[in-house]
Amino acid sequence: MARVYNFSAGPAMLPEPVLAQARDEMLDWHGSGMCVAEMSHRGKEFMSIAAQAEADLRELMSIPDNYKVLFLQGGASSQFTAIPMNLLQGAESADYISTGSWSKKAIAEARRYCAVHVAATTEDTKFTRAPAQGELDLSADAAYVHYTSNETIQGVEFSYIPETNGKPLVADMSSTILSRPIDVSRYGLIYAGAQKNIGPAGLTIVILRDDLMGQPMNGTPTMFDYKVQADNDSMYNTPPTYAWYLAGLVFQWLKGNGGLAAMAEINARKAKRLYDCIDASSFYQNPVDPVSRSWMNVPFTLANADLDETFLKEAKAVGLTTLKGHRSVGGMRASIYNAMPESGVEALVSFMQEFERKNG
Ligand code: PMP
């Protein structure tokens, strides 16, 4: 059996030791005689798995005590809805920063519930950079400020945390959470679908400050009410137990590998290796402003798009898969989350150099 280097944007690679541990525990978790997927979410075995996962995530991200951590379903897309429903708290507008496909989706959904003031957009330059702090036009009556700290499709990442003059800052961190240490106390709410840097699809993490719960707008579905979820330890209904367990194994793997500071060093190195390869060549191109380049998603084009299919086919033949760019931007995209080993980036760079030599 040969495992491939899978550059998918998500669902994405999981650390091999995590998969091996899940395999070893599949039929009998710690002498329980059961697979985790077969356990009652209210039983003591699963409760211990859930609590450990939360404790490990809190430790990894240094989450302050006045923040709740929710393990939900519905993907990051459901949070596009839940955020205005919970955070408007009687206000009629919110500020959104528009930096790419995912912030546009968040904005479109928020517009169903409030007036969205676009505090900055980089659409005029085809979303190839994050706006600087000085470009943010924040409004006085906004309930919160939302941004997408890493745009998975465009490969644009904020290199700073926006300053919001005391307004709660809300971040879609789906494709960058756990890639480096961040100061959680600067945020009102952080959310992420799990399927990139946390675990399998089906689990959505929300980290939110205590005071942002408890005043949902009229008509908020119970399942979308953060206070209900927090009061029930994310078990108002049956949670995604197996995904929660696997996420917990990923958190333990991260801790065993030096935590987020160590991840940041490795991720910076991986990204630099790939961007250096692209920049050193006139055959490959990445359009993103160097200060806004994502560590996690690296889109690039070939000088001759007619070669795209050959590139993908030959890459696949040597075990480098899922490099096709998003249909909206074309070209290629290499997603290099925590679980992508440095050897995978090394293999990709070698392949790219060889491909250029043959076709450039
Ligand atoms: N936000 C970002 C930044 C994403 O990358 C994605 C998924 N690619 C989403 C939101 C949507 O996530 P989900 O599929 O979990 O709803």
Shared domain for 274 and 133, answered yes or no, is no
Return the pLDDT at 71: 98
Q: What is the pLDDT of residue 2?
A: 87
Record the tokens describing residue 199, joined without a space: 């675990």
Whether 95 contacts 145, CB under 8 Å: yes
| Of 126, 129, 174, 131, the residue nearest 150 (C-alpha) | 174
Number of helical (H) and strand (E) elements in the chain, helices listed first: 9, 14
Per-residue pLDDT at 269 exceeds 80? yes
pLDDT digits (tens, 9 = 90+) for 115-164: 999 999 999 999 999 999 999 999 999 999 999 999 999 999 999 999 99
What spacing in Å lies between the alpha carbon of 244 and ligand 1's midpoint? Answer: 18
Residue 360 pLDDT > 90, yes or no? no
15-72 tens-digit pLDDT: 999 999 999 999 999 999 999 999 999 999 999 999 999 999 999 999 999 999 999 9
Domain that holds residue 275: 259-359
pLDDT at 328: 87
Mean pLDDT, rounded, for 330-352: 98
Based on the fold, state whether residues 147 and 41 are members of the same structural domain.
yes
**Do 122 and 237 fall within a single domain?**
yes
Same domain, 311 and 172: no
Q: Considering 226, 256, 286, which residue would you say is the last residue of a domain?
A: 256
300 lies in the same domain as 215: no
Q: Please, are residues 225 and 86 in contact by the beta-carbon 8 Å criterion? A: yes
Q: Please check whether residues 197 and 322 belong to one and the same domain.
A: no
Is residue 7 in a domain? no
Active-site residue set: 102, 172, 196
Q: How far apart are CA 114 and CA 283, in angstroms?
A: 46
Binding-site residue ranges for pyridoxal 5'-phosphate: 76-77, 102, 152, 172, 195, 237-238
Average pLDDT taken over every residue of the chain? 97
Tell me the CB-side half-sphere exposure of residue 102, using CA atoms within 13 A.
27
Residue that has been written with the tokens 């009102």 in this structure: 188
Statement to judge: residues 323 and 217 lie in one domain: no
Predicted structure pTM score: 0.98
Q: What is the CATH number of the domain that holds 204?
A: 3.40.640.10
User: Atom 10 of ligand 1 has which residue's CA nearest to it?
Assistant: 76
What's the distance, Cα to Cα, between the start and end of the chain in Å?
34
Of 256, 272, 303, which residue constitutes the final position of a domain?
256
Kindly report the CA angle at 132 between 129 and 134, in degrees rounded to 5? Answer: 150
Mutate to test the pocket of ligand 1, among 77, 104, 328 (most ligand atoms within 8 A of CB): 77
Query: Annotated binding residues, as ranges?
Result: 42, 76-77, 102, 152, 172, 195, 237-238
Does residue 6 lie in a domain region? no
**Shared domain check, 200 and 118:** yes
Domain boundary among 256, 289, 323: 256
3-state secondary structure string, 273-321? HHHHHHHCCCCEECCCCHHHECCCEEEEEECCHHHHHHHHHHHHHCCEE
How far is it, in rounded angstroms, from Cα 315 to Cα 293? Answer: 23
Enter the ipTM. Answer: 0.99
> Residue 338: helix, strand or coil by DSSP?
coil
* Sole residue written with tokens 């995604």: 240
Same domain? 58 vs 166: yes
Q: How many CB atoms lie within 10 A of CB 269?
A: 13
